[in-house]
Amino acid sequence: MLYHRWHCTGRIHTLGEKILKTTIHNHVPDKAYIEARKGIENLKTMAAQVGPSTQLVIASISEGLSASAAATLPTPPISSMKRTVQRQKLEDFPAIPNSLLELNIPENSQITSDSSSESNSTVQTPLFTTLYNETPSTSSKVPILRRTMPKKRNAQEAIIDKMSSCFYNLNKRVQSAPTPDEDLHFARSLAQDIKILTPLQKIQFKRTIYELLENVASETL
């Protein structure tokens, strides 16, 4: 008896837009439940849009619900609505474009700084050039040290800072030498040049610099 009292058997059978069959409900219409269902449908429709955030969607729908309609929402209502919005956004998330031709860029964003329009050409100039050869070569020169990608940047900056510090200390030792010879003069000028270089500039050495620094270090230590 209780089962038939609390579980409605009212149904409507449709085929497309055509109603085939309806059955009688055993209760009066629940306005609060209907209002809550409409609010959830509006919530899903608004969540499918890219612009509004989750908090904005929930706030917009909650303002229009009455207290009786909010009481029929699953508990806790905010967490339930938040999961519904996030699930809907994930289902309707725009696909990642495979080429520039699939991008829908607004016209005002296609104008460059010189007021010329961007073309949809597939030929693009690379923004970054990388150089990952950081080991000494067999030639008479050491590979160029420069900034590459973010993963390599910190290690290379540390190398350049360490080299700059070594040359700075070398310059101080050379200046304190009583009678510098020709090699020490050369080391002094080299230290002055390296000290003012920035990490963005290229540094290139000859292999003889290593021998010179070895000699200077052994003489000044």
Q: How far apart are CA 37 and CA 39, in angstroms?
A: 5
DSSP three-state, residue 20: strand
What whole-number distance in Å separates Cα of residue 207 and Cα of residue 139? 8
pTM (global) more than 0.85? no
- Tens-digit pLDDT profile for residues 112-169: 666 666 555 555 555 454 444 444 444 444 444 444 444 455 555 666 666 666 666 6
Q: Where are the alpha helices (H) located in the chain, listed in sequence order? A: 2-6, 31-47, 54-64, 67-71, 77-91, 150-175, 182-195, 208-220
Q: Tell me if 129 sits within 8 A of 144, measured CB to CB.
A: no
In 3D space, the residue among 207, 165, 160, 216 whose CA is nearest the CA of residue 188 turns out to be 216
Mean pLDDT estimate for the chain: 66
Predicted pLDDT at 99: 73
Residue type, 58: I
Confidence (pLDDT) at 47: 83
pLDDT at 202: 41
- pLDDT exceeds 80 at position 65: yes
**For residues 100 and 58, is the Cβ–Cβ distance under 8 A?**
no
